[in-house]
Amino acid sequence: MVSKINFKVESVRTINSPSQKNVTTYFTYVNFKDLPSGLPLDVNPRKPKMNTAVAKSLIAAVKAPETDFDINNRGIVIVAKSFKFNSNNNTVVLDLGDDPTKFGILDGGHTYTAIIDNRNELPETIDKFVKLEIIVGKELFVSRIADARNTSASVSDIALYELDDKFDFIKEAIKNEPYSNDIAIKDNSKERLPIIELLKLLFAYNIYKFPNANTTPTQAYSGKAMVFKDIKKDLDNKTGYYDSLAKILPDLVQLYDKIELEFRTKYLEYNPTGKFGGLRGVEKQKSNGKPLQTLFLENDTDYRVSAGYILPVFGAFRVLIEENNKKLSWKINPFTMWDTVGSSLVKNTLESSRNNPQDAGKNTSIWSNNYSKVENEMFREMLKNK
């Protein structure tokens, strides 16, 4: 793979991210004829399937004589190591590094493939363009961007997997819960709660994969595609890990809901004069508006807290899980443990991330330190009760 690629573009527009100052996005249009071939697709969570109805319509649009493709198509998103534009000859030098799992086409793989495979069928007299969105920045979390940009396809993967009733173990685990009929699995489902939200909880508590503070399930926040891939692998191999974890899923939902509801209370315990509603990643209920509700149990709340803050706190309590004969149970009640250490966990999460939910969600140190805090308190409780 050639890491540095030169190609001609139309004029370039540059936008710096207001939330992450070291991330820059470059927008440009490229003539089909100048679009470089061989761009890596490895960072895209799925390979293009060009025999679907959507892909066939893309191919038809590429071949069509109309020249408004750049208006009607969302374009191609690329993550690059660096981007240089020479305004003298309107050429770009794109550095894609030497790791195809970090740099390349993040979204728009079907569009890219349709153009590369079919542009030669266009008459020489026709010029058609595609929009490129090129993201450059240090420590970009590509799996999270890919996950967000490929939501519909990810849901489709889950829906296809359900055709073989693979998620019956989830349905069985929550059959007596108030949200059992709210789970959305199929595409365009009317149910309110995507099943991936439950799968993320199980992933965060996979003590087989993340047995200590040195191993952190940050992908529960940063990558739904990775979560699904891990659970699919377990089910396909009949390992049984997630089947065991599902037995405690109702407890996990209750714990997540309690943390979500009481996050502000624990914040005010260590910072009584703090303005919780002013924190980035916290949505305050609008005056005279409908109450906000928690994700799983739909309890009314005045504040909606980003999962980037909640998950590193929630995931810490997996240290309380023990296994006996493939049955999982709690060493110590997680709800009373939250009452004891919740304020310390919230403080560590917010202050270590500088009140940035994206950093908190993907920061392994925060996850690890929270785990250690719960573990230390667990040992104190055990010694006290001897």
Write out pLDDT tens, residues 80-107: 999 999 999 999 999 998 877 778 898 8
Predicted confidence (pLDDT) per residue in 260-294, tens digit:
999 999 999 999 999 999 998 898 887 777 789 99
Name the domain boundary from 95, 124, 148: 148
135 & 263 share domain: no
d(CA 144, CA 223): 5
275 & 161 share domain: yes
Tally the domains of the chain. 2
316 & 336 share domain: yes
Domain extent, residue 126, equals 4-148
127 & 230 share domain: no
- pLDDT-derived band at 139, boundaries 50, 70, 90: low
End-to-end CA distance of the chain: 61
At residue 147, the pLDDT reads: 61
Predicted confidence (pLDDT) per residue in 174-198, tens digit:
999 999 999 988 655 678 898 999 9
Name the domain boundary from 148, 166, 192: 148
74 & 12 share domain: yes
Residue 314 sits at φ, ψ, to 5 deg, of -60, -45
334 & 199 share domain: yes
At residue 222, the pLDDT reads: 82
316 & 344 share domain: yes
Name the domain boundary from 115, 148, 181: 148
- pLDDT-derived band at 149, boundaries 50, 70, 90: low
90 & 203 share domain: no
pTM beyond 0.85: no
104 & 220 share domain: no
267 & 128 share domain: no
Instruction: Indicate whether 155 pLDDT > 50.
Output: no
Nearest by Cα to 319 from 240, 206, 218: 206
At residue 185, the pLDDT reads: 82
Instruction: Indicate whether 334 pLDDT > 90.
Output: yes
Percent above pLDDT 70 for the chain:
92
User: What torsion, rounded to 10 degrees, do the Cα atoms 252, 253, 258, 261 define?
Assistant: 140
167 & 117 share domain: no
101 & 237 share domain: no
